[in-house]
Amino acid sequence: MAAKETSTPGVLPQVVRGPDLDRRAVLYARVSTNNGQDPEVQSREIREYCQRRGWPLVGEYVDAGISGAKERRPQLDRLIADAHKRRFDVVVVWKFDRFARSVSHLLRALETFRALGIEFVSLSEQVDTSTPTGKMVFTVLGAVAELERSLIAERVRAGLRHARAKGKRLGRPTKHVDPAKVAALRAQGVSWRRIGTQLGVSAATAYAASKERL
Protein backbone atom coordinates (compact mmCIF):
# COMPACT_ATOMS: atom_id res chain seq x y z
CA MET A 1 0.00 0.00 0.00
CA ALA A 2 1.36 3.40 -0.94
CA ALA A 3 2.16 5.72 1.91
CA LYS A 4 -0.01 8.78 2.38
CA GLU A 5 1.46 12.09 1.35
CA THR A 6 2.51 14.13 4.30
CA SER A 7 1.81 17.78 4.82
CA THR A 8 4.47 20.29 3.83
CA PRO A 9 6.60 21.05 6.89
CA GLY A 10 6.56 24.51 8.30
CA VAL A 11 4.03 27.30 7.90
CA LEU A 12 4.31 29.78 5.07
CA PRO A 13 4.43 33.32 6.43
CA GLN A 14 1.40 35.55 6.31
CA VAL A 15 1.74 37.78 3.26
CA VAL A 16 1.02 41.45 3.80
CA ARG A 17 -2.06 42.54 1.85
CA GLY A 18 -0.88 44.59 -1.07
CA PRO A 19 -1.37 45.29 -4.77
CA ASP A 20 -1.81 41.57 -5.52
CA LEU A 21 -4.94 41.37 -3.35
CA ASP A 22 -7.94 39.75 -5.03
CA ARG A 23 -5.99 38.01 -7.77
CA ARG A 24 -8.08 35.13 -9.02
CA ALA A 25 -6.29 31.92 -8.06
CA VAL A 26 -6.71 28.27 -9.00
CA LEU A 27 -5.13 25.18 -7.51
CA TYR A 28 -3.77 22.11 -9.24
CA ALA A 29 -3.27 18.86 -7.31
CA ARG A 30 -2.36 15.35 -8.44
CA VAL A 31 -1.85 11.92 -6.89
CA SER A 32 -0.48 8.92 -8.76
CA THR A 33 -2.84 6.35 -7.27
CA ASN A 34 -6.13 6.24 -5.40
CA ASN A 35 -4.64 3.72 -2.97
CA GLY A 36 -3.59 5.58 0.16
CA GLN A 37 -2.96 8.94 -1.51
CA ASP A 38 -5.38 11.78 -0.94
CA PRO A 39 -5.18 14.94 -3.09
CA GLU A 40 -7.01 16.79 -0.32
CA VAL A 41 -3.68 16.95 1.55
CA GLN A 42 -2.34 19.20 -1.20
CA SER A 43 -5.60 21.08 -1.81
CA ARG A 44 -6.09 22.02 1.85
CA GLU A 45 -2.67 23.67 2.13
CA ILE A 46 -3.19 25.54 -1.13
CA ARG A 47 -6.58 26.85 0.04
CA GLU A 48 -5.04 28.07 3.29
CA TYR A 49 -2.21 29.77 1.40
CA CYS A 50 -4.62 31.55 -0.95
CA GLN A 51 -6.68 32.69 2.03
CA ARG A 52 -3.58 34.22 3.63
CA ARG A 53 -2.71 36.00 0.38
CA GLY A 54 -6.24 37.32 0.06
CA TRP A 55 -6.73 35.54 -3.26
CA PRO A 56 -10.21 34.25 -4.11
CA LEU A 57 -9.95 30.62 -5.21
CA VAL A 58 -11.98 30.45 -8.42
CA GLY A 59 -11.16 26.91 -9.54
CA GLU A 60 -9.74 23.55 -8.47
CA TYR A 61 -8.16 21.10 -10.91
CA VAL A 62 -7.42 17.67 -9.43
CA ASP A 63 -6.05 14.63 -11.29
CA ALA A 64 -6.48 11.55 -9.07
CA GLY A 65 -4.85 8.24 -9.97
CA ILE A 66 -2.86 9.83 -12.81
CA SER A 67 0.85 9.10 -13.21
CA GLY A 68 3.09 12.13 -13.58
CA ALA A 69 4.76 10.48 -16.59
CA LYS A 70 1.55 10.48 -18.63
CA GLU A 71 1.38 12.91 -21.54
CA ARG A 72 -2.35 13.53 -21.10
CA ARG A 73 -3.88 14.60 -17.79
CA PRO A 74 -7.53 15.65 -18.11
CA GLN A 75 -7.58 18.29 -15.38
CA LEU A 76 -4.18 19.74 -16.27
CA ASP A 77 -5.28 19.97 -19.90
CA ARG A 78 -8.44 21.77 -18.75
CA LEU A 79 -6.35 24.16 -16.63
CA ILE A 80 -4.14 25.07 -19.60
CA ALA A 81 -7.23 25.61 -21.78
CA ASP A 82 -8.78 27.88 -19.13
CA ALA A 83 -5.49 29.77 -18.82
CA HIS A 84 -5.75 30.72 -22.49
CA LYS A 85 -9.27 31.99 -21.75
CA ARG A 86 -7.78 34.21 -18.98
CA ARG A 87 -10.09 32.76 -16.33
CA PHE A 88 -7.54 33.23 -13.51
CA ASP A 89 -4.42 35.20 -12.61
CA VAL A 90 -2.30 32.73 -10.64
CA VAL A 91 -1.78 28.95 -10.48
CA VAL A 92 -0.85 27.45 -7.11
CA VAL A 93 0.54 23.91 -6.74
CA TRP A 94 1.78 21.91 -3.78
CA LYS A 95 5.04 20.82 -5.42
CA PHE A 96 6.72 21.01 -8.83
CA ASP A 97 6.53 17.24 -9.41
CA ARG A 98 2.77 17.26 -8.78
CA PHE A 99 2.43 19.62 -11.74
CA ALA A 100 5.14 18.85 -14.31
CA ARG A 101 6.62 15.55 -15.49
CA SER A 102 10.03 17.09 -16.33
CA VAL A 103 12.01 20.32 -16.20
CA SER A 104 11.29 20.98 -19.88
CA HIS A 105 7.54 20.42 -19.33
CA LEU A 106 7.58 22.79 -16.35
CA LEU A 107 9.46 25.42 -18.32
CA ARG A 108 7.05 25.24 -21.26
CA ALA A 109 4.10 25.68 -18.91
CA LEU A 110 5.76 28.61 -17.13
CA GLU A 111 6.55 30.26 -20.46
CA THR A 112 2.89 29.87 -21.45
CA PHE A 113 1.74 31.37 -18.14
CA ARG A 114 4.19 34.26 -18.43
CA ALA A 115 2.98 35.07 -21.95
CA LEU A 116 -0.60 35.10 -20.63
CA GLY A 117 0.28 37.25 -17.61
CA ILE A 118 -0.40 34.40 -15.16
CA GLU A 119 1.81 33.85 -12.11
CA PHE A 120 2.85 30.45 -10.75
CA VAL A 121 3.37 29.47 -7.10
CA SER A 122 4.80 26.20 -5.73
CA LEU A 123 4.38 25.87 -1.97
CA SER A 124 7.01 23.21 -1.19
CA GLU A 125 9.75 24.95 -3.17
CA GLN A 126 8.45 28.37 -2.01
CA VAL A 127 8.65 29.72 -5.55
CA ASP A 128 6.45 32.60 -6.66
CA THR A 129 7.11 33.95 -10.16
CA SER A 130 5.67 37.33 -9.20
CA THR A 131 8.69 37.92 -6.89
CA PRO A 132 12.31 38.69 -7.89
CA THR A 133 13.45 35.35 -6.44
CA GLY A 134 10.78 33.47 -8.37
CA LYS A 135 11.79 35.22 -11.59
CA MET A 136 15.41 34.20 -10.94
CA VAL A 137 14.37 30.54 -10.52
CA PHE A 138 12.49 30.77 -13.82
CA THR A 139 15.62 32.15 -15.50
CA VAL A 140 17.79 29.37 -14.04
CA LEU A 141 15.33 26.71 -15.21
CA GLY A 142 15.40 28.24 -18.68
CA ALA A 143 19.20 28.19 -18.74
CA VAL A 144 19.29 24.54 -17.63
CA ALA A 145 16.76 23.55 -20.30
CA GLU A 146 18.70 25.47 -22.98
CA LEU A 147 21.94 23.75 -21.92
CA GLU A 148 20.19 20.38 -22.09
CA ARG A 149 18.92 21.11 -25.62
CA SER A 150 22.39 22.26 -26.72
CA LEU A 151 24.06 19.11 -25.36
CA ILE A 152 21.52 16.86 -27.09
CA ALA A 153 21.94 18.72 -30.40
CA GLU A 154 25.73 18.50 -30.17
CA ARG A 155 25.57 14.74 -29.46
CA VAL A 156 23.35 14.28 -32.53
CA ARG A 157 25.74 16.29 -34.73
CA ALA A 158 28.74 14.34 -33.41
CA GLY A 159 26.95 11.06 -34.17
CA LEU A 160 26.21 12.18 -37.73
CA ARG A 161 29.82 13.25 -38.29
CA HIS A 162 31.03 9.89 -36.99
CA ALA A 163 28.62 8.01 -39.26
CA ARG A 164 29.72 9.99 -42.32
CA ALA A 165 33.39 9.39 -41.47
CA LYS A 166 32.69 5.63 -41.50
CA GLY A 167 31.08 5.94 -44.91
CA LYS A 168 27.51 5.31 -43.78
CA ARG A 169 24.77 6.74 -45.95
CA LEU A 170 22.38 8.87 -43.92
CA GLY A 171 18.76 9.65 -44.48
CA ARG A 172 15.81 7.70 -45.79
CA PRO A 173 16.72 5.02 -48.37
CA THR A 174 15.71 5.86 -51.93
CA LYS A 175 12.82 3.83 -53.32
CA HIS A 176 13.34 2.35 -56.76
CA VAL A 177 10.44 2.90 -59.15
CA ASP A 178 10.21 0.90 -62.37
CA PRO A 179 9.62 3.42 -65.19
CA ALA A 180 8.06 0.68 -67.32
CA LYS A 181 5.36 0.09 -64.69
CA VAL A 182 4.67 3.80 -64.52
CA ALA A 183 4.36 4.00 -68.31
CA ALA A 184 2.04 1.00 -68.40
CA LEU A 185 -0.27 2.46 -65.79
CA ARG A 186 -0.31 5.86 -67.52
CA ALA A 187 -1.21 4.13 -70.77
CA GLN A 188 -4.26 2.73 -68.96
CA GLY A 189 -5.28 6.26 -67.99
CA VAL A 190 -4.40 5.93 -64.30
CA SER A 191 -3.79 9.27 -62.54
CA TRP A 192 -0.37 10.20 -61.15
CA ARG A 193 -1.70 10.11 -57.61
CA ARG A 194 -3.16 6.63 -58.10
CA ILE A 195 0.08 5.43 -59.67
CA GLY A 196 2.07 6.74 -56.70
CA THR A 197 -0.30 5.01 -54.26
CA GLN A 198 0.01 1.69 -56.09
CA LEU A 199 3.81 1.86 -56.23
CA GLY A 200 4.20 3.19 -52.67
CA VAL A 201 5.69 6.53 -53.66
CA SER A 202 4.48 10.10 -54.14
CA ALA A 203 2.87 11.26 -57.38
CA ALA A 204 5.90 13.50 -57.98
CA THR A 205 8.28 10.53 -57.68
CA ALA A 206 6.20 8.49 -60.13
CA TYR A 207 6.21 11.39 -62.56
CA ALA A 208 9.98 11.80 -62.23
CA ALA A 209 10.45 8.08 -62.92
CA SER A 210 8.46 8.40 -66.16
CA LYS A 211 10.71 11.25 -67.27
CA GLU A 212 13.81 9.13 -66.56
CA ARG A 213 12.44 6.47 -68.93
CA LEU A 214 12.10 9.09 -71.65
Number of domains present in the structure of the chain: 2
Give catalytic status of residue 32 as yes or no: yes
- Residue 171 within any structural domain of the chain: no
> Rounded distance, CA 47 to CA 54, Å?
10
Which has more pLDDT, 98 or 8?
Answer: 98
- Residue 104 within any structural domain of the chain: yes
- Residue 165 within any structural domain of the chain: no
Angle at the Cα of 187 from the Cα atoms of 195 and 194, rounded to 5 degrees: 15
Pair 50, 111 in one domain: yes
Residue 176 confidence (pLDDT) above 50:
yes
- Residue 155 within any structural domain of the chain: no
Residue 3: band (very low, low, confident or very high) from pLDDT cuts 50, 70, 90: very low
Q: Which of 7, 32, 43, 150 is catalytic?
A: 32
Please write the tens of the pLDDT for every residue from 121-154: 999 888 888 888 777 776 776 666 666 667 777 8
* Domain containing residue 201: 179-213
